[in-house]
Amino acid sequence: DGRLTFNPGNQTVDLPFINFMKRHGTVFLNAYTNSPICCPSRAAMWSGLFTHLTESWNNFKGLDPDYVTWMDLMERHGYHTQKYGKLDYTSGHHSVSNRVEAWTRDVDFLLRQEGRPMVNLTGDRKHVRVMEADWRNTDKAVNWIKEEAINLTEPFVLYLGLNLPHPYPSPYAGENFGSSTFLTSPYWLEKVTYEAIKIPKWSSLSEMHPVDYYSSYTKNCTGEFTEQEVRNIRAFYYAMCAETDAMLGEIISALRDTGLLRRTVVVFTADHGELAMEHRQFYKMSMYEGSSHVPLLVMGPGVKEQQQIPNVVSLVDIYPTMLDIARVPVPQNLSGYSLIPLLRGKAENDLSPRGPRPSWVLSEFHGCNVNSSTYMLRTGRWKYIAYSDGRSVLPQLFDLSADPDELTNVAMKFPAVVHSLDKTLHSVVNYPKVSSSVQEYNKKQFISWKQSLGQNYSNVIANLRWHQDWLKEPKKYEDAIDKWL
């Protein structure tokens, strides 16, 4: 959650290396994901293109494996490149369940697709390395800096992708269930100030926007939660952020120890945030701030120190920025704009040949746990969210300056603002047409998957992540799918 890197982060959890980057570099106060889920978001970051252009519709459908990323271009221009950890921007990953849930989101049924969010404390006060796979990848990156990077004659670009902070799988819910366990050790939990944790306000279930209700239901969050349960989920999430911060610290320390820090640009960001029980949801897949607002901090040569940038930016800006740093010609067809003028503290009119950076950012979502294609335009004080064809589901408008918790939809109150923002959104993406093509894609993919299973279809579909609900009335749900088809 990007808000942790400025406010209220410092009151809830200590993030020493994020703070180090703020002191020695620039923090973006309004950085957003272009799609609040792993693969589509990463596809946008690696391609510099909006989701409707990459057609990365869900966690299974990303870029083609041979897609030319900014790192490929840097390599072609003489950079030594190295990647460790989670990449997840090409098609073909994630579970069958993940795909099928995304394809069937227009079916007229409600099924819980996740385990109920819960916490789990592991180890003791000495247990530092909770997410072992991330630590192993961090160790590899540190060793590479100390043994390889230090001896290179050409410039290098190193990428480290972490899983944390991310809920863990929930074994109690069965093997096909998603990741709904917030897991940490006492070592990290002690870095969290419980008293400073804000308990989010919830609308009643009957007052929720229909898309929010569907999300809350499929994420298994419509039941009763005590204030202590909510506080614990949030605390454990912050503790997982503290562990992530320590991994960032390992990289910064390795660069400092080798004398490379003062001539290396360091960028820290994320593919999406975590709602951690805001708006009666956990996970991502939402345009609310907890899910869509990401961290973005940059430090290094030429980057202004102790600078806070209020401009709205997004992950598609990473591609032209990396090429700009490397002095590689930037392709003209990108959705993003280089952050270099902002990082150097220059006025907005010292701009790229493409003209001024737009005053808005776009995020869109077409995957699971949300029963409609969703489009978010963020500009100035406003956040505008349109759904599907723009008519069948009511839009939302939030005034973030007056309502930072996004509790009051003011779309009816400000029709002129809605009209203006919808016009801007239409100029960027023909969203009714995109929504319709996603619906066609979902149906086509589902039919071909169903045919590939033959006689096994009924058994396989019944035992996906929604099995606890499905198995109560399998015929009812199969009939609902047939009706949809």
Confirm whether 221 is a catalytic residue: no
pLDDT at 173: 64
Model pLDDT for residues 177-212, shown as the tens digit of each residue: 679 999 999 999 999 999 999 999 999 999 999 999
Mean pLDDT of 131-160: 97
Residue 446's pLDDT band, with cuts at 50, 70 and 90, is very high
Query: Which range has the worst mean pLDDT, 83-97, 161-175, 444-458?
Result: 83-97
Residue 225, helix vs strand vs coil: coil
Query: Which range has the worst mean pLDDT, 175-189, 253-267, 328-342, 421-435?
Result: 175-189
- Per-residue tokens: 24: 């020695």
pLDDT at 350: 55
Round to whole Å and give the CA distance between 120 and 97. 25
pLDDT at 294: 98
Amino acid of residue 189: L
pLDDT at 449: 95
Round to whole Å and give the CA distance between 24 and 255. 14
% of residues, the chain, pLDDT over 70? 96
Q: Which pTM does this prediction carry?
A: 0.96
Round to whole Å and give the CA distance between 159 and 145. 11
Residue 175's pLDDT band, with cuts at 50, 70 and 90, is low
Total length of the chain: 485
List, as own/partner pairs, every contact residues 352-357 make where C-beta atoms lie below 8 angstroms and the sequence separation is at least 24, other chains included.
352/320, 357/311
The yes-or-no verdict on residue 443 having pLDDT over 60 is: yes
Round to whole Å and give the CA distance between 25 and 84. 24
Omega within 30 of 0 (cis) for the link into 165? yes
pLDDT at 355: 78
Round to whole Å and give the CA distance between 12 and 14. 7
Residue 23's pLDDT band, with cuts at 50, 70 and 90, is very high
User: What are the residues facing 181 on neighbouring strands?
Assistant: 118, 168
CB 77 within 8 A of CB 181: no
CB 16 within 8 A of CB 245: yes
Region of residue 78 (phi > 0: left; psi between -120 and 50: alpha; otherwise: beta):
left
Closest CA to 322 of 295, 345, 300: 300
Round to whole Å and give the CA distance between 259 and 253. 10
Compute how many other C-beta atoms are within 10 angstroms of the C-beta atom of residue 204: 7
pLDDT at 189: 98
What pairing do the DSSP bridges indicate for beta strands 156-161 and 80-85? parallel
Residue 174's pLDDT band, with cuts at 50, 70 and 90, is low
What distance separates the 2 farthest-apart alpha carbons in the chain? 65
The yes-or-no verdict on residue 7 having pLDDT over 80 is: no
Burial (CB count <10 Å: 0-12, 13-18, 19+), residue 54: buried
pLDDT at 152: 96
CB 29 within 8 A of CB 310: yes
The yes-or-no verdict on residue 455 having pLDDT over 80 is: yes
Read off φ and ψ for residue 345, nearest 5 degrees: 75, 25
Helices (H) and strands (E) in the chain, counts: 18, 14
pLDDT at 221: 97
Round to whole Å and give the CA distance between 212 and 369. 9
CA of 108: how far to CAs of 220, 340, 387, 477, in Å?
A: 17, 47, 17, 9
pLDDT at 8: 56
Report the Cα 404 to chain-centroid distance in Å: 19
CB 337 within 8 A of CB 328: no
Sheet of strand 396-399, all strands in order from the earlier edge strand to the far edge:
360-365, 374-379, 382-387, 396-399
pLDDT at 351: 56
Query: Which range has the worst mean pLDDT, 84-98, 309-323, 396-410?
Result: 84-98
Round to whole Å and give the CA distance between 264 and 184. 32
CB 63 within 8 A of CB 90: yes
pLDDT at 178: 76
CB 191 within 8 A of CB 14: yes
- Give the chain's mean pLDDT: 94
Round to whole Å and give the CA distance between 179 and 294. 20
Residue 10's pLDDT band, with cuts at 50, 70 and 90, is low
Omega within 30 of 0 (cis) for the link into 171? no
Mean pLDDT of 150-159: 97
Amino acid of residue 375: Y
pLDDT at 291: 98
Q: What angle do CA 208, 214, 215 make, to 5 degrees?
A: 95
Model pLDDT for residues 86-131, shown as the tens digit of each residue: 887 776 677 788 899 999 999 999 999 999 999 999 999 999 999 9
pLDDT at 86: 85
Compute how many other C-beta atoms are within 10 angstroms of the C-beta atom of residue 152: 11
* Residue of 332 and 140 predicted with greater confidence: 140
Domains observed in the chain: 2-349 (3.40.720.10), 451-484 (no CATH)
Model pLDDT for residues 362-390, shown as the tens digit of each residue: 999 999 999 999 999 999 999 999 999 99
